[in-house]
Structure 1
Amino acid sequence: MTTIDRNQGLARQIADSLQDDILQNRLSVSERLPSEADLAERFKVSQPTVREAMKILAAKKLIRSKRGPKGGVFVNTPSLDMAAQTLHETTNWLVSLGVIELADIVETRRKLGRMAIEIACEAATREDYKRIEDALLELDHTNISDEDFCRLEVAFHQAVAEASSNAVLRLMMVVVNQSLIPAANMISFQFRERDKVIAYQRQIFSALLSRKTEEAVSAFDALIDYQSGVYDLALQRREERQSAEAAR
């Protein structure tokens, strides 16, 4: 029997315990979880509490539900998207608290992004080019929302990273693209000029098509330089706003 501290959130503790079982492979990929009744007995809680724990695990994409005679709740097959989902909330929190500085995000994006572009110039296939171009074409619309623009910007850079067959680099780029970029955009999107971002991305794509590594990296560096300036402006305006509020 697993011990549960009643002074803490029961559903959260149950979710944490089952997540640990999954990550330690005590619950295998595609394995069916025990029933709600069995889990309620194991943790000595009510079935509604177990149901809340299942919702937490489902939000993290660690489990999936299947209906029918052979249905139930199963451990999800791991993926890079699952890893990004797990990291996304924590990353946003760390950025908002200032634990991760925007300067750190810029430096990480620059170094890993260069590596991804260099590999893409060498290894990109026709399918890779199609994914990158599709993301760029979707991005280049004046009537899309700020949220969609941020999402499609991430899709463009991730499509470039997908041209690499290196699973470790792809995972790192998922973290950078799907966690760090949205966290930074949350602060700076009001000050960014979309046309400039798209122009730099067009230059990157054109150089990738021609397999001109230096040109692609140069265009990427110019994009990062521009976005770094936007981050600086956003932080400056935030500090000015905070100072004005404190003076009232």
Structure 2
Amino acid sequence: MIVGQIRDLIRSGSLPVGTRLPAERDLCERMNVSRLTLREALRALEVSGLIQIRAGAHGGAFVTAPDTDRAGQGLTDLLSTSGLSASQVTEARIALELGTVQHICERATEDDLRELRVLCDQAEEARELGSYTVDMSYSFHLRAVQASHNPAIGMIMGSIRDAVLMSMRAAHHEGKQGVEEHRAFVDAVGRRDAAEARRILAAHLQRTVDAVAGD
């Protein structure tokens, strides 16, 4: 209950990032709880990444912004214990990534396009050397959704990194065709051709769905 109350204050903006929480005694009196109960709640909030507890004369509990790595690990743990399959994760990717294509085509800058092409070049070189990994594919897809310039979309994609990598590894097929599709997608975005970009990405992701079908 105490955890929920403090979390609600943080999420509502009543306690912005960087804010120091009131002293333990004040919080105990305000919430009518013991110090032991409060400290357990603060530890739970620290584990979740919502606060940071600092020691020393200028210490205390400070509101922090949870990072995507921490959130992603928590989501990966949830996925691994929920019985979700690689195909279900891939279907979720399709909903997220295809739904972002229009924004990518409208908002991608020249810097975005250049960085995506660099990733394509690196992937092509790695493929020829036999060192291409699914991490490289994920980096491309993450950078692509970031080109939508909607921080929420980038954060969501970043937070499900491990789950996406799991589904990519299960597919076992990212090779020449995948790299070529990445490059064709960037070219379509560069032409602001959302329909073509969506068609390419849909076919690209569908191959993953087909590869992990039944998992």
Q: Which runs of 5+ in 2 are unaligned?
A: none
Matched letter for residue 21 of structure 2: L
Matched letter for residue 229 of structure 1: D
Instruction: State the shift of 1:73 in Å.
Output: 3.3
What is residue 123 of structure 1 aligned with on the other side?
107
Deviation digits for residues 178-224 of structure 1 (CA, Å, limit 9, x no counterpart): 35563254256144223143332222123223333333222201111
- Partner of 2:99: helix, strand, or coil? helix
Matched letter for residue 166 of structure 2: M
**Contact 2:171/2:208, CA 8 A, preserved across alignment:** no
**Contact 1:92/1:183, CA 8 A, preserved across alignment:** no
**Contact 1:204/1:219, CA 8 A, preserved across alignment:** yes
Compare relative contact order (CA 8 Å, sep 6+) and give the higher one, 1 or 2.
2
**Contact 2:102/2:194, CA 8 A, preserved across alignment:** yes
Aligned counterpart in structure 2 of residue 73 of structure 1, from 61, 64, 83: 61
**Contact 1:105/1:180, CA 8 A, preserved across alignment:** no
**Contact 1:117/1:213, CA 8 A, preserved across alignment:** yes
Residue 46 to residue 157, structure 1, CA distance change in 2 (3 Å): same
Aligned counterpart in structure 2 of residue 22 of structure 1, from 10, 14, 31: 10
Q: Which runs of 5+ in 1 are unaligned?
A: 1-12, 236-248
**Contact 2:53/2:59, CA 8 A, preserved across alignment:** yes
Matched letter for residue 118 of structure 1: Q
* 1:205 and 2:186 are equivalent in the alignment: yes
Matched letter for residue 34 of structure 2: K
* 1:44 and 2:46 are equivalent in the alignment: no
Aligned residues: 208
CA distance in 2, matches of 1:62, 1:216: 38
Residue 198 to residue 25, structure 1, CA distance change in 2 (3 Å): same
What is residue 50 of structure 2 aligned with on the other side?
62
What is residue 220 of structure 1 aligned with on the other side?
201
Instruction: State the shift of 1:28 in Å.
Output: 3.2
Instruction: State the shift of 1:226 in Å.
Output: 0.7
Instruction: State the shift of 1:228 in Å.
Output: 0.2
CA distance in 1, matches of 2:141, 2:112: 12
Residue 103 to residue 122, structure 1, CA distance change in 2 (3 Å): same
- Partner of 2:49: helix, strand, or coil? coil
**Contact 1:30/1:75, CA 8 A, preserved across alignment:** yes
**Contact 1:121/1:211, CA 8 A, preserved across alignment:** yes
Q: CA RMSD, aligned part only?
A: 3.9
CA distance in 2, matches of 1:138, 1:15: 45
- Partner of 1:194: helix, strand, or coil? coil
CA distance in 2, matches of 1:134, 1:67: 44
Task: Point out the more displaced range, 218-227 or 84-93.
Answer: 84-93
Alignment of 1:1-248 (within 5 A): 15-35=3-23, 43-46=33-36, 50=39, 53-64=41-52, 72-77=60-65, 85-86=70-71, 89-90=74-75, 93-94=78-79, 96-98=81-83, 105-136=89-120, 141=126, 142-143=130-131, 149-150=134-135, 152-165=136-149, 167=150, 170-172=151-153, 174-175=155-156, 177-180=157-160, 182-186=162-166, 189-195=169-175, 196-232=177-213, 235=215
